[in-house]
Amino acid sequence: MALQQAEKNQFGTQIAQELSETLYACSSLTLLSGGTANFLFRGVLAQPLQDGTKTIIIKHSKEFVSANRHFQLDVSRCVGNLFLFSSMCFNEVSADGNILTFDDIYVYQLFEVIMLNALDSFPSTAVDKFYLRTPHLYLFDQKTNTQVLEDLSGMIDMKAALESPTAPSILTQSISTDIGRSLGAWLRSFHSWASEPAQAGLQREMGENKPMRKIRYSISYGAFIDVVQKFPEIWEGCKKALEEVRDMATAEYAKNIEDKVGENWGIIHGDFWSGNSIKLSILIPNTPSPERQQLEGTNLFVIDWELAQFGRKEYDLGQMIGDLYERKHFRDANSAVWIIQGFVTGYGALSDEMAFRIAIHAGVHLICWYIRRDPTAPFTKPLKQIQDAIRIGTDFIVKGWEKDRTWFEGTFLENPYAAAHYLALAERLIN
């Protein structure tokens, strides 16, 4: 049964009472759109904080999803987004019993809290015109499962910006490249910081986020072969290599932080892409043309840390590249190409092993576009465009697995600092 507005308002009243004796007492709360396993509110503080902050975001978890108190969340059916709100996500138990319970929601919230608290000591990264950082967690009430977070109002996620009609005027080549370079430099810095001996305690804690590792595997390497098999003309020519990649990834996801796995492993963001349907991953200022100011000295935010986990650093890089190519392929977002160029340049030097693994992961992510959609809705893209995406993703996996440097000539694998022709090969494949 769907929650009535009066019930949602009652939750807001309860939260206001819980915060009334804290620095975050609110004069009013507004329920925000979005959020399935959480209730999200914007609160107007009764008294501004010392730094002048007047509003906050409150994330509150209940033992049922925020849309329906009787629904359980079937993660295996919600493959495109951990909390994709679709009726198919809630009305059955998957074959392996992979149900997201309230205890699981509570656990992933704890891991996000751990990361946000740790990231307070991670300095913001300044590159070109931009400063990248994570939002501040003001308070976590463990008894009521309530987070009080920095309000990032006036920001939009990068995916929405790329797909906006105003994208050509806002995300010019210069600005897009700078955003990408800043993002890449921030990710390199984060990966390095998280691998330092000083973060040994954090590494052990995040190594325990095994439920989210299972979910990340199930929506990537555990799913991509099923998608390719829907296209027999693609599958038949490369099934051996794809199965070998899946088996390799299965073995990797079974590794623990105690294993000797090498320098390419560590704490990763785990959900590093341009945005999703419920929560945002990368936020940029919402400055529409023609009134927009130059994006100089601007904060960019990396958020959504629930899936932070132990894994290969290539997963973060490949997911972002695959996602940005998806914007180019399906939405003709030219700015995505420029962001890719800057992103790879900003991250810096890549070993051959790392570069080929990034290509594999980017291909897996692109293929899994097929399941990052409402499974009950008809396709809105032409069949050829869908087939081309699956073919391109498959080729990146196979050629990355075969370490075919000649095939990748002109892409970021040949020259990670230039990356100017990253998409040239893919474009040749579909023309």
Which pLDDT value is given to residue 294? 53
Task: Report which DSSP code applies to 124.
Answer: P
Q: Is the dihedral of CA 73, 78, 79, 84 positive or negative?
A: negative
- The CA-atom distances, in angstroms, between 52 and each of 113, 147, 269, 325, 356 are 24, 20, 30, 40, 47
The per-residue pLDDT of the chain, averaged, comes to 81
Q: 33 vs 249, which has greater pLDDT?
A: 249
pLDDT band at 186 (very low <50, low <70, confident <90, very high): very high
Query: pLDDT tens-digit profile of 99-109?
Result: 455 455 556 67
Which pLDDT value is given to residue 288? 54
Query: pLDDT tens-digit profile of 35-72?
Result: 455 788 999 999 999 999 999 999 887 654 444 444 44
Matching residue, tokens 């809290």: 113
CATH superfamily of 72-136+152-430: Aminoglycoside phosphotransferase (APH), C-terminal lobe (3.90.1200.10)
Q: Which residues pair with 284 in a beta bridge?
A: 156
Mean pLDDT of 400-426: 61
Q: What's the whole-model pTM score?
A: 0.84
Query: pLDDT tens-digit profile of 345-379?
Result: 999 988 889 999 999 999 999 999 999 887 788 99
- What share of the chain has pLDDT > 90, as a percent? 54
Query: pLDDT tens-digit profile of 68-81?
Result: 444 444 333 333 33
Structure tokens at 180: 């990408």
- The CA-atom distances, in angstroms, between 326 and each of 264, 273, 279, 426 are 25, 11, 18, 11
* Lowest-pLDDT range of 4-18, 36-50, 128-142, 206-220: 4-18
pLDDT band at 290 (very low <50, low <70, confident <90, very high): very low
275 close to 158: Cβ distance less than 8 angstroms: yes
- pLDDT over 90 at 282, yes or no: no
